[in-house]
Amino acid sequence: MVFRRHILWLVYSQTTSTLTLIFLRVTKSYTENPNYLELLRQRDEGILTQMVLEETPKLYRCIARLVRDPDEVQNLVQETFLQALRKVENFRGESLFSTWLCAIGINLARASLRRSIRTDLMDEADIEVLQPRFDEQGHAIAEYPLWNPERGLIRKEQIRILYEAIERLPEDYRLAITLRDLEELPMDEVARMLEITEGNLRVRLHRARNALRNLLIHYDTNT
Amino acid sequence: MIQTLKYWLGINLNCKEAHQFLTDYVENALDEDLKWRFEQHMRLCRNCRVYLAQYKAVIALLHDTAPPKPQPELVAHTLSFLKNELNKPTS
Ligand SMILES: [Zn+2]
């Protein structure tokens, strides 16, 4: 059951001398309850239900962007909630509860990915090759091809190529791109989830995006 | 004199340096001075302008992907899973 607050507003209009009844329904987040952590610790069914209802979509997205198999994603979502509830006293309130939850989910997803090792993953040297080159004076060595995303492959195909490339990125790059560019989470939140500085996150994004741009353009101008 | 002129024109960033600030620029993490110098380089250098546009296009494509959605029964399944697991005696 979702906890809802109903507010009735009576508005008196002086110009028309009428009373208007405004009926507002506000969904209240479980985190607005000042005792939500204590209640979660006590495994209070009401707050637990609210938490699962509210957090499932975001948590699911974070995990499903990394792990392909939907059954595995479901298991990981459930395992995340379980782990979170078992160590809820470790949550220090330095981030949003949902950020903390996603960080747990991402760690579980990483462990799951490591169990299913792919053979075509890129390594650091592959990423390096895909960065632009400059001469000693700092000039670009080659002119960049005039690629226009509107004129190449259809958008859907371009997105498919990017997706495939992301799956082959080394894990650190893949996580950064997934959370920042696919999930569009704020920089500080992503940095917190990955336990790195924002500067560090920007470096990873930079190298990953350069690599993706290179792969996409190469594909797009050769087909 | 030449240095001052170069600075005034904002071309004291070469292509490599400008490229290093690309992500900071896109993520709005440059201070005013660097941001101005970066933009000035872009105004004067066509090749870097091309790169910036492509870099942004890739981000736009990534934003355009459909988010995965959970099955509607996942919440109910999770709740019964949690009930089961949390009621288990801990060893
Ligand atoms: Zn340039």
Which amino acid would we find at residue B17? E
- For B22, name the nearest residue in chain A, comparing CA atoms only: A206
Q: Which is nearest to A166 in space by CA: A201, A127, A222? A: A127
In whole angstroms, what is the distance from residue B8 CA to residue B33 CA?
A: 11
Question: Which residues of chain A neighbour B64 with C-beta distances below 8 Å?
Answer: 155, 159
- CB contact B9 to A (< 8 Å): no
CA-nearest residue of chain B to A74? B74
Cite the beta strand spans of chain A per DSSP E: 4-13, 18-27
Instruction: Reply yes or no on whether the pLDDT at B89 is more than 50.
Output: yes
Question: What is d(CA A172, CA A39) in angstroms, rounded to the nearest whole number?
Answer: 35
Q: Quote the pLDDT of residue B10.
A: 53
Measured distance CA(B35)–CA(B22) in Å, rounded? 10
CB within 8 Å of chain B, chain A residues 34-63? 43, 48-49, 52-53, 56-57, 60-61
C-alpha span between A53 and A55 (Å, rounded): 6
CATH classification for the domain delimited by A2-114, as one of 1.20.120.720, 1.10.1740.10, 1.20.1250.20, 3.30.300.30 = 1.10.1740.10
Q: What is the pLDDT of residue B11?
A: 56
| ipTM for this prediction | 0.84
Tell me, what's the pLDDT at A153? Answer: 75
Helix/strand/coil for A201 = helix
HSE, CB side, 13 Å, CA atoms: give it for residue B47: 15
Q: Select from A69, A40, A74, A46 the least CA-distant residue to A59.
A: A74
Q: Pick A124-220's CATH classification: 3.40.50.300, 3.80.10.10, 3.10.250.10, 1.10.10.10.
A: 1.10.10.10
- pLDDT exceeds 50 at position B33: yes
Q: What pLDDT, on the 0 to 100 scale, is given for residue A2?
A: 38
Both tokens assigned to B54: 């492509």
Contact B24 A158 (CB under 8 A): no
**Where exactly are the structural domains of chain A?**
2-114, 124-220
Question: Using CA atoms, how far apart are residues B41 and B16, in angstroms rounded to an integer?
Answer: 11
Are B16 and A134 in contact (CB < 8 Å)?
A: yes
For residue B8, the model assigns a pLDDT of 61
Per-residue pLDDT, A221 = 76
* Distance (Å, whole) CA A190 – CA A62: 11
Q: Does B87 contact A at CB distance below 8 Å? A: no
Span B35-75, pLDDT tens digits: 999 999 999 999 999 999 999 999 999 998 888 889 889 99
pLDDT confidence of residue A179: 95
How does DSSP classify residue A182?
Answer: I
Output the average pLDDT for chain B: 88
Contacts of A25 (CB under 8 A, 6+ apart): A4, A5, A6, A7
> What pLDDT tens digit does each residue of chain A (223 aa) get?
333 444 444 444 454 555 554 444 456 899 999 999 999 999 999 999 999 999 999 999 999 999 988 999 999 999 999 999 999 999 988 889 999 999 999 999 999 988 877 778 899 999 999 999 999 888 888 888 888 777 767 888 888 999 999 999 999 999 999 999 999 999 999 999 999 999 999 999 999 999 999 999 888 777 6
Residues 16-55 of B with CB under 8 A from A: 16-17, 19, 22-24, 27, 29, 47-48, 50-51, 54-55
The secondary structure of A52-98 as a DSSP string is HHHHHHHHHHHHHTT---HHHHHHHHHHHHHHHHHTGGG--SSS-HH
